[in-house]
């Protein structure tokens, strides 16, 4: 058992949010979309399956890249598809970061960044967010062997956004490439897609898990300049996206009407959730994502999480070093949020 790299045996491993199978819990813990995906997605997957799955899929998911290129106004050569945006993060990390190198990211943010660094045998340079959820000079400071910075934008768990202008400045000052993880950007008023063409060091990743209700399908993609895409393509598994996922993802981004409708519903419900939480005495960070990060001055977050779960509602309890713990509540349907608020009101009484 001493076969393993020492960084692997030493690490604890990423623990994803609870995924109870086949329960009746109202699930507001992993930022899934509460709505069913577009009917066109199901039809496209059905056609792919009926055509047969015995052949290997298109290694570069050309159909998706063409459709996404039209939608986003970029050339398909600027797009790399992944088996979820976690696959994209993995590919970038493996391509840029050697063991002993340094990766920078903010705290509190997506916990997977630490795991990716640990797997690679890299050192983590963790920069604390300022109290107003901006990033200070420590995030752009030079450092030896610094090879990559991750920035979730909107950030999780806060749901806050750093403006494209500020991200542009950060990227200019950083001595290494910057991965802007836009898993939640479809729920935000701004995004950093426009920065990619202006600065080779800016890379943007997207996910279909949240805004297209396709967490179970696993599809994400990267937008970066083509000379970078070409190198990243060497690192991905040849057939990292399956035939059903390619068909479904292509149909998903092709149905912008479905997308706009559900997006509007989620943003409206988010406003209602924030207002109700505030009314109940919670401190809420205004969110640009499909979740709300909150804390109650009189009720510890961990026991609220536990009591909510006993009441049939699963939210995410999160605790970060050097930061208050709290609850991250996914924006569900209005009915789900009503159920959550009813139980919560009872708990606070």
Near its own copies in 71-100, by CB under 8 A: 83-84, 86-87, 90, 94-99
Name the residue among 159, 150, 157, 177 with its Cα closest to residue 109: 157
Name the residue among 234, 230, 153, 158 with its Cα closest to residue 195: 153
Where b means 16+ CB within 10 Å and e means fewer, 226-246 reads: eebbeebeeebeeebbbbbbb
Token match 């479905």: residue? Answer: 258
Query: What is the nearest approach in angstroms of its own copies to the Cβ of residue 248?
Result: 7
The DSSP secondary-structure symbol of 175 reads: S
E-assigned strand segments in 135-195: 146-152, 178-181
Could you say which of 30, 109, 160, 269 contacts its own copies (CB under 8 A)? 30
Interface of this chain with its own copies, residues 44 to 63, rule: CB under 8 A:
45-46, 48-50, 52-59, 62
Query: What is the nearest approach in angstroms of its own copies to the Cβ of residue 45?
Result: 5
Interface of this chain with its own copies, residues 268 to 327, rule: CB under 8 A:
none
- Quickly list DSSP for 1-27: -TTS-HHHHH-----PPP--SS---EE
Query: What is the nearest approach in angstroms of its own copies to the Cβ of residue 147?
Result: 7
| CB burial of residue 48 (10 Å; 0-12, 13-18, 19+) | buried
Interface of this chain with its own copies, residues 144 to 183, rule: CB under 8 A:
147, 176-177
The residue among 43 and 275 lying less far from its own copies, judged by its C-beta, is: 43
Query: What is the nearest approach in angstroms of its own copies to the Cβ of residue 109?
Result: 16
Query: What is the nearest approach in angstroms of its own copies to the Cβ of residue 83?
Result: 5
The residue among 252 and 304 lying less far from its own copies, judged by its C-beta, is: 252
The residue among 57 and 154 lying less far from its own copies, judged by its C-beta, is: 57
Kindly state whether residue 347 participates in binding its own copies, applying the rule CB under 8 A.
no
């Amino acid at each position: 058992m001493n076969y393993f790299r020492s960084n692997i045996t030493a690490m604890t491993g990423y623990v994803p949010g609870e995924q109870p199978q086949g329960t009746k819990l109202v699930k507001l813990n992993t930022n899934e979309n509460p709505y069913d995906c577009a009917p066109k997605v199901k039809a496209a997957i059905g056609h792919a399956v009926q055509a047969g799955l015995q052949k290997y899929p298109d290694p570069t998911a050309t159909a998706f890249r063409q459709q996404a290129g039209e939608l986003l106004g970029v050339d398909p050569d600027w797009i790399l598809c992944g088996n979820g945006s976690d696959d994209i993060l993995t590919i970038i990390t493996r391509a840029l970061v050697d063991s002993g190198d340094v990766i920078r990211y903010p705290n509190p943010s997506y916990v997977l960044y630490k795991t990716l660094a640990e797997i690679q045998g890299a050192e983590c340079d963790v920069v604390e967010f300022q109290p107003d959820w901006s990033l200070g000079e420590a995030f752009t400071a030079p450092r030896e062997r610094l090879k990559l910075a991750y920035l979730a934008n909107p950030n999780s768990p806060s749901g806050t956004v750093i403006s494209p202008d500020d991200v542009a400045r950060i990227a200019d000052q950083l001595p290494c490439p910057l991965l802007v993880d836009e898993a939640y950007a479809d729920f935000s008023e701004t995004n950093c897609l426009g920065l990619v063409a202006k600065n080779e060091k800016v890379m943007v990743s997207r996910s279909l898990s949240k805004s297209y209700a396709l967490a179970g399908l696993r599809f994400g993609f990267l937008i970066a300049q083509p000379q970078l895409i070409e190198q990243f393509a060497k690192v991905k598994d040849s057939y990292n996206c399956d035939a059903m996922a390619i068909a479904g993802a292509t149909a998903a981004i092709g149905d912008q009407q479905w997308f706009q409708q559900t997006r509007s519903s989620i943003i409206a419900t988010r406003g209602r959730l924030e207002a109700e939480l505030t009314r109940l005495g919670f401190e809420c960070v205004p969110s640009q994502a499909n979740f709300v990060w909150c804390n109650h001055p009189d009720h510890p977050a961990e026991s609220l999480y536990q009591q909510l779960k006993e009441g049939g509602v699963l939210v995410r309890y999160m605790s970060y070093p050097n930061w208050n713990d709290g609850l991250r509540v996914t924006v569900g349907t209005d009915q789900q949020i009503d159920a959550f608020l009813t139980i919560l009101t009872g708990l606070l009484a």
